[in-house]
Amino acid sequence: MPAIVVLGAQWGDEGKGKATDLLATTDPIDYVVRTSGGHNAGHTIVVNGEKYATHLLPSGILTPGATSVIAGGVVVSPEALFRELDGLIARGVEVADLKVSANAHVIASYHATIDKVTERFLGKNQIGTTGRGIGPAYADKINRVGVRIADLFDEKILTQKVEAALDVRNHLLTKVYNRRAIEVDAVVEELLSYADRLRPMVCDTSLLLNKALDADQTVLFEGAQATMLDVDHGTYPFVTSSNPVAGGVCVGAGIGPTRIDRVVGVIKAYTTRVGSGPFPTELFDEDGVQLQQLGGEIGVSTGRTRRCGWYDAVVARYASRVNGLTELFLTKLDILGAWEQIPVCVAYEIDGQRVEEMPMTQTEFHHATPVYEYFEGWQSDISGCRSFDELPKNAQAYVQALEEMSGAPIWGVGVGPGREQTVVVHG
């Protein structure tokens, strides 16, 4: 299977790395590619009992033999990139080959500054961003005042571009936000300091990946953020500033849609969200606290506690539809072993009406309350199960019920954090 997309089907943090791990057991992966977002993502990878967190680097960075690619749709903070690489090297990790697109936009320190002041200015309407400068970097890209990785190799061009970017920004910072102006020279100097180390990594990643696909190599497009955080298809405005949906992979990587063979949506057996925005199945009671504690639901990137709730099949069906999912990978099923009964949201009630599909408007979604169906729990530890038949009958029934209501077959299930703790449902 040459081109596989793995993406988040909820609001992020679904455990996408687990699906990648399972894929790698059957097909050696030649390329692992990030196509959107930046160091706002948080992947936790457990290798030989050791926990590693990556934010910008593709998880393939820990896979010997695989080339990691940061494609053109990603916004790259060179500072974060090298901090992450050096962090892994310091722990004795053998870091895999890394390629960075010349077209990727740069996150400079001023983007993070603007991200934070904008959030503060929004007050109670704030998005709850990661404060990493993701939104301002994408805004500069769309406003055509962005700096790209290739610009770091030409001081004259770089200076012109930083000047253009800061021209309006500095007016905003000083006159609206009452902050000090950012100095062009300091920004240019910092960005130039990364150029030498970056140069050997930089290439035309679209060409690289298309050639790899022509040669029938296996390319894994590793999603960051998730469907419900997509700027077009998520819960706007409480979203990130890129397109984590499957369509975004083509744009971000420079490959055509006809090249993609599988689109795997990773989905938790319950739901979590960080940051602000609507979340119909959110729990404010003991169950929510228990999901948070048992699931270790704390953000990898920001250390924020994640909001927790039950599985939402309306969201699952929506994710199946907008991404054209060929399959789902269900994670963290083991966490639900503590409950006698497990509620699943099968539809919403909006102003007295039962609604089966994602509501069309933001207002309706804010008014949606979950309609629950209740499933018998299995109340046991399933983390040692390695096949579907080994799962308790009630856990099997839960997985089968979710499959029927979620719009795509469930290919695999995660039963623990370790790489091997997976169960294949449909081989």
Binding site for substrate, by residue number, is 300-306
Q: Is 141 annotated as catalytic? A: yes
In the complex, least distance from residue 274 CB atom to ligand IMP, rounded to whole angstroms? 4
Task: Give the C-alpha separation, 108 to 373, whole Å.
Answer: 48
DSSP 8-state secondary structure symbol assigned to residue 172: I
- If the CB atoms of residues 273 and 317 are measured against ligand IMP, the closer one turns out to be 273
Residues in contact with ligand IMP by CB under 6 A are: 12-13, 40-42, 127-130, 132, 134-135, 224-225, 229, 238, 240-241, 274-275
Residue 200 neighbours by CB under 8 Å, 6+ apart: none
Q: Which residue is nearest to ligand IMP (CB)?
A: 275
For 71, phi then psi, to 5°, come to: -85, 175
Which of the residues 39, 99, 105, 141 is marked catalytic?
141
Q: How far apart are CA 409 and CA 399, in angstroms?
A: 10
- Cβ-Cβ contacts under 8 Å for 64 (sequence gap 6 or more): 94, 96
Say how far residue 286 (Cα) sits from the centre of its chain.
28
Residue 380 tokens, joined: 């046991």
Q: How far is the CB of 13 from ligand IMP (least distance, A)?
A: 5
- Assess whether 43 carries a catalytic annotation: yes
Tokens 């089968």 -> residue = 400
Task: Answer for the pair 57, 98: CB distance below 8 angstroms, yes or no.
Answer: yes
Can you say which residues are annotated as belonging to the binding site for Mg(2+)? Answer: 13, 42
Choice between 3 and 224, CB closer to ligand IMP = 224
Shortest reach from residue 151's CB to ligand IMP, in Å: 23
Task: Please enumerate, by residue number, every residue annotated as part of a binding site for IMP.
Answer: 13-16, 40-43, 130, 144, 225, 240, 304
- Of 39, 43, 111, 161, which residue is the catalytic one? 43
Which residue ranges are tagged as binding site? 12-18, 40-44, 130, 144, 225, 240, 300-306, 332-334, 414-416
123 Cβ contact partners less than 8 Å away, ≥ 6 residues apart = none
Shorter beta-carbon distance to ligand IMP: residue 42 or 412: 42
* Burial category of 329 from C-beta neighbours within 10 Å (exposed 0-12, middle 13-18, buried 19 and up): buried
- In angstroms, give the least distance from the CB of 75 to ligand IMP: 10
- Residue with smaller CB distance to ligand IMP, 218 or 240: 240
Binding-site entries for GTP: 12-18, 42-44, 306, 332-334, 414-416
- The span from the CA of 183 to the CA of 173, in Å, is 12
Q: Which is nearer to ligand IMP, 134 or 342 (CB)?
A: 134
8 Å CB contact between 249 and 222: no
- Nearest to 15, CA basis, from 41, 44, 35: 44
Sign of CA dihedral 373, 378, 382, 386: negative
Neighbouring C-alpha atoms within 13 Å toward the C-beta of 351: 5
Q: How far is the CB of 128 from ligand IMP (least distance, A)?
A: 4
Nearer to ligand IMP, 130 or 218 (CB): 130
Measured in whole angstroms, the distance separating CA 413 from the mean position of its chain's CA atoms is 19
**E strands along 38-97, which residues?**
43-47, 50-54, 67-70, 75-76
Is-contact 48 266, C-beta < 8 A?
Answer: no
Extract the tokens encoding 408. 């795509």
Distance of closest approach, residue 131 Cβ to ligand IMP, in angstroms: 7
Closer of 195 and 300 to ligand IMP (Cβ) = 300
Query: Shortest Cβ distance from residue 301 to ligand IMP (Å)?
Result: 6
Q: Is 161 a catalytic residue?
A: no
Catalytically active residues are 13, 43, 141
